[in-house]
Amino acid sequence: MRSLSIRVSLAVCAVALWGAARNLGWAQSTAEIFARLDQAAHTFTGATANIRVLTHTGIIDENETQSGIVVVKRYSPNEMRFLINFTGKDAQAIALRDRTLQIYYPKLNTVREYDIGKFKDLAQKLILLGFGMPGRELAADYDISNLGGERVESQDSVHLQLTPRASDVLKQLSRVDLWISLKTNCPVQQKFYMPGGDYRLVTYSDVKVNPRHLPASALELPKAAKRERMN
């Protein structure tokens, strides 16, 4: 009996040591991570993934989840377009192209278009945080802490903690936690912390980077839907 418990203890220790060793193996310096991101950003043309968004309202400790698919495509070094298609009871799709944010309401068969003007860069940088984004760009916008390797959604990833440098952004967004996959160099998870305890946890799975065939139509909303220009 005693030898059995010793063997179990040894096994547990071995597993823990193996885990720690793996963790150490993933751990990279921030400079190494930036170099990887810079390289990945250079070759990034687009990505597709499943997306799950959990919105947490802190004061009432409530979670609400939406899921769907996301398609990202780079059109120029400074322009990325995306389409997020949420499915289920509250189905809707959101697309960003140029300065126009489009929201598609399937039950109304309507696409509402908003010119987001000066907020375009902010929306693009926040929603697509980590997709094809060079490390230097991250470092320019955030103070970054490297929290080491973690396994998220069955993927080895590096956990970065980002604090916005701009004071106006900081008022609305206290911090962002970002998990970058070591395999795809794209985010596995983003966690946006708002002041007051609310947060938004976005998880990506089945991420396909630089898919061979990603037509422009993959980012388009239904053409038959009625278009309404809102501003």
Partner 1 sequence: MILTLVGISYGTLDETARRARGVGADIVVRPPATSVISLSSSPMSQDLLSFFMKQAHVAFATGTMIQPLSGFDTLTGIDLSQFNELSGGFRFVKGGPFQSDDDVIVDEYYARENRLGVGSTIKLMNHLWRVSGIFESGKLARICAKLDVLQSLTGNSRKLSQIYLKVDDPNRAQSVVKDLREKMPGYFIYTMEEFTSLLTINSVGLLRNFIGVVIGVAVIVGFIVVSMAMYTAVLERTREVGILKSLGASSGYILNLLFRETLLIAIIGTFTGIILTYGTRWLMMHAVPASLTQETVYKWWPIAGAISVAGALLGAIFPGWKAVRQDVIQAISYE
The two three-digit tokens of residue 221, written as one number = 């909303």
H/E segment holding residue 170:
helix 167-172
> How far is Cα 167 from Cα 207, in angstroms, rounded to an integer?
33
Least distance in Å: CB of 110 to partner 1? Answer: 4
> How far is Cα 98 from Cα 116, in angstroms, rounded to an integer?
9
Nearer to partner 1, 49 or 173 (CB): 173
Which position has the token pair 């080491």? 148
Least distance in Å: CB of 161 to partner 1? Answer: 17
Which residues, other chains included, contact 188 with Cβ-Cβ below 8 Å and sequence gap of 6+? 152, 153, 155, 157, 179, 180, 181, 203, 204, 205, 207
Nearer to partner 1, 36 or 112 (CB): 112
Residues that bind partner 1 (CB under 8 A): 55, 57, 59-60, 62, 64, 86, 89-92, 94, 101, 103, 105-110, 119, 122-123, 126-127, 171-173, 192, 194-196, 198, 200, 226, 228, 230
Nearer to partner 1, 31 or 108 (CB): 108
Least distance in Å: CB of 93 to partner 1? Answer: 9
Least distance in Å: CB of 116 to partner 1? Answer: 8
